[in-house]
């Protein structure tokens, strides 16, 4: 499968897509998204080595690459119906429409950024939520602009979950990760990602940015492996996550018991749904 190589200051993009417009937008998206990742985690030092991205023209090419390059993990990745995945500090995706392809690149690019720059990762549902912040992209004067608060797909899922009483508590969410979720019922997958997006919103700009400094501090400490909690400096085996570490981590940085955090978060989700259709003048 012939491919193009696109080199930017921070990325090496390999793609089999044959569309000049999309080829032009891909590097803009990656470099623009990287600037957004750095704003979210301002205390994290940047790497000088370019990050590698694979964007295939169709699912067959993506599947062939996945089977040949990801070993035993391929069976998990191949369950993904649309989009892509990140492995260590590179990501793999395929074409699913211009807008959606760029959205996936910005999402997976955040996982790639974490893989490259962090010695310890956030809890999976926190990392997934932060990645969803970069999915909605608007274009102004041929440049991408990110709007964290506008993610119709995640908002639709959140609205259904809240209205149907399907929302999960943080204690259930922090025990889950994308590899587990991908094989579950569609509503469970939708709810997980919608709630992860809502929790990222809660941390980043909820209650007038109340927890934003705590989020930035947590990300900086995770990146440097300097979380001041007993035993947290131990490095887990590759691919492993200890769900029990999520509660003390969140309680430490947010400064309150998890039950109280969860109450605020549940109210925040209801607030997002309730105010969704209000105009800015209300």
Q: Residue 179 has what pLDDT?
A: 62
In this predicted model, what pLDDT tens digit does every residue of 74-96 receive, in sequence order?
988 898 888 899 998 999 999 99
Q: Is the pLDDT of residue 188 over 90?
A: no
Predicted local confidence at residue 12, as pLDDT:
97
d(CA 40, CA 204): 8
pLDDT at 108 over 50: yes
CATH number of 4-117: 3.40.30.160
Q: Are 162 and 270 in contact (CB under 8 A)?
A: yes
Rounded Cα–Cα distance for residues 231 and 85 (Å)? 30
User: What's the average model confidence in pLDDT over 200-226?
Assistant: 95
Per-residue pLDDT tens over the stretch 230-259: 877 665 555 566 788 899 999 999 999 999
Residues near 190 by Cβ (< 8 Å), separated by ≥ 6? 157, 160, 161
pLDDT at 36: 97
What is the per-residue pLDDT for 282? 38
- Give the closest residue to 195 by CA, choosing from 91, 279, 123: 123
Sign of the dihedral through C-alpha 92, 222, 129, 117? negative
SS3 label, residue 185: coil
Q: Quick: pLDDT tens for 42-52.
A: 989 999 899 99
Task: Give the pLDDT confidence score for residue 234 in this predicted structure.
Answer: 63
The answer to whether the beta carbons of residues 101 and 55 sit under 8 Å apart is yes
- pLDDT tier at 279 (50, 70, 90 boundaries)? very low
pLDDT digits (tens, 9 = 90+) for 24-38: 999 999 999 999 999
Nearest to 13, CA basis, from 91, 115, 126: 91
Predicted TM-score of the model (pTM): 0.92
Q: Are 105 and 29 in contact (CB under 8 A)?
A: yes
Residue 175, pLDDT > 70, answer yes
Domain residue spans in the chain? 4-117, 152-274
């Amino acid at each position: 499968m012939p491919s193009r190589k696109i080199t930017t200051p921070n990325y090496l993009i390999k793609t089999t897509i044959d569309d000049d417009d999309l080829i032009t937008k891909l590097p803009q998206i990656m470099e623009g998204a990287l600037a957004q990742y750095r704003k979210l985690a301002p205390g994290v030092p940047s790497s000088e080595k370019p990050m590698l991205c694979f964007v295939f023209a169709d699912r067959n090419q993506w599947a062939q690459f996945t089977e040949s390059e990801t070993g035993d993990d391929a069976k998990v990745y191949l369950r993904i119906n649309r989009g892509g995945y990140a492995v260590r500090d590179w990501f793999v995706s395929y074409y699913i429409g211009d807008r959606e392809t760029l959205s996936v690149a910005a999402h997976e690019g955040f996982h790639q950024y974490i893989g490259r720059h962090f010695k310890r990762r956030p809890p999976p549902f926190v990392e997934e939520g932060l990645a969803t912040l970069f999915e909605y992209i608007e274009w102004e004067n041929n440049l991408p602009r990110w709007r964290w608060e506008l993610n119709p797909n995640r908002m639709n899922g959140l609205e259904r979950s809240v209205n149907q009483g399907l929302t999960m508590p943080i204690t259930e969410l922090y025990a889950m990760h994308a590899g587990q979720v991908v094989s579950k019922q569609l509503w469970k997958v939708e709810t997980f990602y919608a709630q992860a997006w809502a929790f990222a919103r809660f941390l980043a700009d909820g209650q007038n940015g109340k927890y934003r400094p705590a989020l930035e501090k947590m990300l900086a400490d995770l990146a440097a492996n300097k979380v001041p909690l007993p035993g947290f400096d131990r490095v887990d085996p590759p691919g492993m996550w200890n769900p029990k570490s999520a509660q003390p981590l969140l309680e430490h940085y947010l400064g309150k018991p998890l039950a109280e955090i969860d109450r605020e978060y549940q109210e925040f989700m209801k607030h997002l749904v309730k105010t969704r259709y209000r105009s800015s003048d209300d």
